[in-house]
Amino acid sequence: MATVELTKDNFEEITKVNSLLVIDFGADWCGPCRRFEPIFDSASERHQDVVFGKVDTEAEPELAMAYEIRSIPTIMVVKDATIIHQQPGMLTADLLDELLDQARAVDMAELQAEHEHH
């Protein structure tokens, strides 16, 4: 599946309608972002059940600010409209695969119950 360009106009809708989404916050001028792009794109081919989204932090400063993106690339995983993981830095293909496997295994009912107890 191809990656989806996320903007402030479609971000909320796309994160609501897709149960598992991985987002790459980056910019064209950022070397590590450009090196990460083919890794991210090839993972989108391997993981057909996951929606891969990209946010250009230059074009979408509001989104970068809203999610407190301080360094790029930053990877965010959203499951059932809840951010379950966020980390700055480039990932290898293996680490990205592992992250997605872990995300699929997250029990959202359990996660929500934990949040209610805190």
As annotated, the active-site residues are 30, 33
CA atoms of 90 and 36, how far apart (whole Å): 6
Which of left, alpha, beta for 68 (phi over 0: left; psi -120 to 50: alpha)?
Answer: left
Determine which helix (DSSP H) or strand (DSSP E) holds 22, and give its type and residue range.
strand 20-26
Residues with Cβ within 8 Å of 36's Cβ and at least 6 positions away in sequence, in order, are: 24, 26, 73, 90, 91
What is the number of other CB atoms lying within 10 angstroms of the CB of residue 53? 24
* 3 state SS of 88: strand
